[in-house]
Amino acid sequence: MNSKKNKAEGPSANTIFAIILSWYFLFYFYECITSTYWVKYLDAYGLSSSRIGTITSLGSVLALLIQPIWGARTDKAKFKNNVQTLALLGTMAAISLLFLPVPVGFIAPFLLMVYLAFQFFEAPSVFLSDTIALENLEKTGRPFGKVRLMGSLGWAVSGLVIGVLLGKNVELFAPLAIVTGLGLLTIQRMMPKVPGHMVKTGRSYRSMGRFLKNKAVYPVLIAEAGFSFGMNMASIFMIKRFELLGGSTGMYGLFLCLATIPEVPFLFYGDRLVKRFGSTKVLIAVAIAHFIRFSYIAWMPAWGYIFGVILVQGILVLRIYCITTYINRVSPPELKAAGQMLYSTTSTAFRALGNFVGGILVDKVFGGSYSGVFWVAGGICLLTGVWVWVSMRNQGEAEGPVQVEVVLADKASSGS
């Protein structure tokens, strides 16, 4: 009789936590394939840096425009998990188009079409994964840091394994993504259902306009804009700079894997770090680390020097950790998905702008050299740290401690 009762009550807290950990590992394994190695796939077909930057920025603009629709649909859906499943199936369908034979003269527009289709369905994936995970974690009282840690491990393993395989044959990009997507879909279907709060309660809810009047969200949203713009201006060309200096795709995958190791203690003790020092000091430290990282990459004379970046890599993950938990805390229960959508939209918009500006700078300003754009990116991240210091000093952080363990309604590719 007790077993029947337990079954009726659903899976235990330990089971839910184990599912979330497995899900995040595969989710970021998939994200690493479909974000880090898209540029390599486009480059393999002879596209110039400016054209690659244009394609990726157009995809980001499309994701930006479509995100509000995904966000509204998510909060109104019977279950948010259903929207997540639709998004995953859509990205897999888009990537499957790469199996089609394409005439040589039509390759560039075809790749643009596929990338846009992929970004249409990819747009809600990150904010949906965070929202669904956080709302399930509220039932278990488990910390979000360990979940993000599993995501980092998934990214690291993917970077190493996929990097080696694509270094041998870039055409493995699509089949590897599809196989990983199917595994992710299997785990995703096991996740406890999270209802859309607007359906659940049936009241009239505050509008997003009223939500945006909350001044507490602006310092971190503008900080995310600065970080996303600076980081993506240079990051899409990280692998190309590495290979130009003589490195291989396999060694770059090894770098991605090793760069994740320093993230482990920061994610494991992230809640304690944020509680002790506060979001302001942590984000300023992240800005300084980004400046050091990009300046070092701009300077390095040979590909082997890139492994020195690992020394400052760990703390960078706290940007996503801080901003995600902060946004989740200031979001009302019925707008948690919308709050994450707002964060994701800001990030997407400035990633798109960064991609576009980065491509233009490489081709038109720096004459095909990649080092210059890394110097610029480092400066922008440092200025973002100044903004965080000034804005938070004047306004202060939201009242109450940052609930990084996420026990009540209290929430970030690589960063390579």
What distance, in Å, lies between the first and last C-alpha atoms of the chain? 52
User: pLDDT truncated to tens, each residue of the chain (416 aa)?
Assistant: 444 444 445 677 778 888 888 888 999 899 888 887 887 888 888 777 778 878 887 887 887 788 777 877 776 777 888 888 899 999 999 999 999 887 877 888 898 999 999 989 988 887 778 778 877 777 777 777 778 778 878 888 887 888 788 878 888 999 999 999 999 999 888 888 877 655 444 343 444 555 566 666 778 888 889 998 988 888 878 877 888 888 887 788 788 778 877 877 887 777 778 778 877 888 999 999 999 999 998 898 888 888 888 888 888 878 877 887 777 777 666 666 666 677 777 887 788 788 788 888 887 788 778 888 899 999 999 999 998 888 877 666 654 323 333 332 233 333 43
Q: Kindly state the tokens that stand for 253.
A: 């995958």
pTM: 0.65
Comparing C-alpha atoms, which of 264, 57, 247 is closest to residue 163?
Answer: 247
Judged on CB neighbours under 10 Å (0-12, 13-18, 19+), 100 is exposed
DSSP one-letter string for 307-339: GGGHHHHGGGGHHHHHHHHHHHHHS-GGGHHHH
Q: What residues does 195 pair with on adjacent strands?
A: 79
Buried b (16+ CB within 10 A) or exposed e, 232-259: bbbbbbbbbbbbebebebbbbbbbbbbb
* Confidence at residue 397, expressed as pLDDT on a 0 to 100 scale: 60
pLDDT at 415: 41
Pairwise CA distance, residues 55 & 110, whole Å: 11
Q: At what angle do helices 13-36 and 173-188 cross, to 10 degrees?
A: 160
Query: ∠ CA(130), CA(268), CA(348), 5° rounding?
Result: 35
Which pLDDT value is given to residue 180?
Answer: 92
Q: Which domains does the chain have, with CATH numbers?
A: 14-197+210-395 (1.20.1250.20)
Sequence letter at residue 37: Y
From the CB of residue 5, how many other CB atoms can be counted at a distance below 10 Å?
8
Query: Closest by alpha carbon to 270, among 306, 322, 339, 220?
Result: 322
CA distances from 402 to 17, 94, 323 (A): 21, 39, 10
Distance CA 84, CA 78 (A): 12
